[in-house]
Structure 1
Amino acid sequence: MKKLIFLTFSASVLFASGLKVTVAPVNNELYIKECGSCHFAYPAGLLPSNAWNKMMNDLDNHFGDNASVDEKTFQSLSKYLNDNSAEKNMNYKRSKKIVESLTSNEIPDSISTTPYMKKKHKEIKKELITQKEVKGLFNCTACHQNAKKGIFSEEDVDIPNYGKWDKD
């Protein structure tokens, strides 16, 4: 029987594969059910609370779709996103870097428009990002094989029609 060995260090987890959790994985079933039914349930630590609030307050026009929910669900989702937002998860590498990349009054419209995410993906050819298998930077799970576990390490990137990411 194989055993999974992990070590904790500063709220980060190292899996036996050597990959490090860089953002807190989603652990809210309502969020997974409501938001994850249409798209990847993005970890709350990938945006600051002001961005989540902006997004939640415009659910009737959520990236061109009506994602409205009842008031009780709205309150529960908003609380989860705010309690686990990037600035509240600064012990995770990605959350910290996202917060540090924003100016004090900046409220990003999406994860992929944060300065940090733009910088992290700038070396990837546009046609690899816009190809039908990926569609855009918003589709994390197309390339980040363990995104659902909070792993967004370069070592874990496998781009469709390209392969493992090797920036050198």
Structure 2
Amino acid sequence: MRTEFHPPRGPWPLTGWAAAGLLSLSAALPAWAGEKPLMPASVPKAYTQECGSCHTAYPPGLLPAASWQRLMTGLDQHFGTDASLDEATVKQLATWLQANAGTYKRVRSEAPPQDRITQSAWFKREHRGIDAAVWSHASVRSAANCVACHSGAERGNFSERGLRFPAGLDLRYRSAWDD
């Protein structure tokens, strides 16, 4: 009679795909070391109220400190709109933005043209497969409307796992979401 070997019950040894997954995760950890999250855990209420009332309250890590400084000192001409705030609020938000600016590894030293996130080299690379017609669709409105496609944008999460295809958009544009 043949006796079969049965491994002991309890914690399983890391073999096969589990070991490979853990190894690949550990290889990625150094890339995350020292990185601050795109959207800090503590966000000033004034930021979400004032900035978030007109557009996505962008994570400060998406622009370098110099860009945030220029934006905060030019609120009277904020992309064609007067977004002026009282001095105390400007000081509070400018300090917070400076402390959390440029944390995203691709923007540390890269000030995009006109300090527009959508004009940065990394943004253009990430969105190169998006047809120009998508940006003007009624459910998207512009490249600056992150929440149209990124379900976690308000929390600073732009993971591809959180992508959603905008409502009413012609299915011929779907391939950019599926790659």
- Give the shorter-chain TM-score range: 0.7 to 0.9
Q: Are the equivalent residues in 2 in contact too, given 1:52–1:82 (CA < 8 A)?
A: yes
Worse-superposed segment, 45-54 or 106-115 = 106-115
Aligned counterpart, 2:118: 112
SS in 1 for 2:85: coil
CA 1:56–1:122: 2 relative to 1, 3 Å: same
Structure 2 equivalent of residue 51 of structure 1: 67
TM superposition shift of 1:159:
2.8
* Greater percentage in helix: 2
Aligned to 2:127: 121
Provide TM-score, normalisation by structure 2: 0.70
Identity across matched positions, percent: 37
> Which structure 1 segments of 5+ residues have no match?
1-8, 13-20, 90-94
Distance 1:37 1:11 in 2: 33
Moved more, 27-36 or 58-67: 27-36
Q: Evaluate the alpha carbon distance shift between residue 124 and residue 25 of structure 1 in structure 2; reply closer, same or farther with a 3 A threshold.
A: farther
Q: How many residues align?
A: 140
For 2:130 and 2:40, locate their aligned partners in 1 and report how far apart those are by CA, in whole Å.
25
Say which structure, 1 or 2, has more relative contact order (CA 8 Å, 6+ apart). Answer: 1
Structure 2: unaligned runs, 5 residues or longer: 1-28
Kindly provide the CA deviation profile for residues 5-54 of structure 1, in whole angstroms up to 9, marking residues without a partner as x: xxxx7479xxxxxxxx9623562212111111222111111100100111
Q: Which residue of 2 aligns with 1:165?
A: 177
Q: Does 1:134 align with 2:140?
A: yes
Shift, 1:107, TM fit: 5.1
- Hey, what does 2:162 align to over in structure 1? 156
1:63 paired with 2:79, answer yes
Alignment-derived partner of residue 37 in structure 1: 53
Please name the residue that 1:99 is paired with. 108
Structure with bigger strand share is 1
Q: 1:53 to 1:122 in 2, by over 3 A?
A: same
Which has the larger Rg?
A: 2
CA drift at 1:136:
1.4
What TM-score results when the alignment is normalised by the length of structure 1?
Answer: 0.74
Q: Secondary structure at the match of 2:38?
A: coil
| Alignment deviations for residues 29-84 of structure 1 (CA, whole Å, 9 cap, x no partner) | 12111111222111111100100111111111111110001111110010011011
